[in-house]
Amino acid sequence: MKGHHDDLGAFHEPIYIEFRDTDREQHVKLSVWLAWLAGLAGDDYEERGLGRDELIRRGQVFLVNRFSLKVHRTPKMYETLSATTWEHGTEAIYFNRHYQFEDLDGERVADARSTWLLCDPEKHRILRPRALVEGVRDIHCDADCPPVTKIDPPEQLQPLGERRIVYTDLDANRHVYCANYGNIIADYLPEEIVSKPFSTLEITYAKEALLGETLHILGADTPEGYVLIGRHPDGNTCFISRIGIK
């Protein structure tokens, strides 16, 4: 079913949880949650005439900087959710966006926040929010999830392995699709964590990963959740994530 905007400008879209969206434990995959968040933002802009093709024509592209998600109740396979997303203004160079997921009885399932950057896809230059000539909506409705803040890496990190970037990791921007980092995270989480339903997921995308690169994966358990980091061979951080379990 096609999504729609309400009178305030928030975008609503139903989501049906397919068999393929869940993992061994029948929990929605981390990558699927991230894909929903990215897809809802894209569908919102597409419905407003600001889809990827139009933005590329203008020499612009949106790239996600951070996601923060809190799951209040683990959704089930074959369940339908009502998803809502809305722009929450800007802060410096960042576009803020919030999300809410409910079941068909109107009960809250999850909340999320994200920050985005508007960039020049050729020169990889960050553009100020005013470059989006249509302007940015600022709907004053909060989200019940952790703020999108910096995740400090623990001092003691354990090497967990290496992950080579392959063709199927990539998207049309020619780097790893933001949701596919959820699969990388899940593949390297300890069994006692990945097998349980998670309550929070935070991720910061620091430096894009490209085809053929090899990321060094490191992790550590902390009081705030399990931190998992992907680093480029030169030591620069590709992504840093933190997962809390129920």
Same domain, 8 and 121: yes
In a domain, 143, yes or no: no
In a domain, 145, yes or no: no
pLDDT tens sequence for the chain (246 residues): 579 999 999 999 999 999 999 999 999 999 999 999 999 999 999 999 999 999 999 999 999 999 999 999 999 999 999 999 999 999 999 999 999 999 999 999 999 999 999 999 888 899 999 999 999 999 988 999 999 999 999 999 999 999 999 999 999 999 999 999 999 999 999 999 999 999 999 999 999 999 999 999 999 999 999 999 999 999 999 999 999 998
User: Furthest-apart CA pair in the chain: how many Å?
Assistant: 50
Six-digit token pair at 161? 């392995």
Same domain, 109 and 171: no
Q: pTM of the full predicted structure?
A: 0.96
What are the phi and psi torsion angles at 123 (to 5°)?
Answer: -95, -5
Closest CA to 64 of 117, 100, 112, 113: 117
Domain end among 131, 166, 184: 131
Residue with tokens 């999108």: 148
Angle subtended at Cα 209 by Cα 178 and Cα 120, rounded to the nearest 5 degrees = 75
Six-digit token pair at 54? 């139009």
Please state the domain count of the chain: 2
Six-digit token pair at 171? 């998207």
Q: What is 43-66 written as a DSSP string? A: HHHHHTT--HHHHHHTT-EEEEEE
Range of the domain at 171: 158-245
Same domain, 8 and 126: yes
CATH code of the domain covering residue 18: 3.10.129.10
Same domain, 127 and 162: no
Q: Are strands 225-231 and 237-245 parallel, antiparallel or unpaired?
A: antiparallel
Q: Tell me the C-alpha to C-alpha distance, in Å, between residue 37 and each of 60, 94, 113, 179, 188.
A: 20, 16, 9, 9, 22
Distance CA 185, CA 169 (A): 13
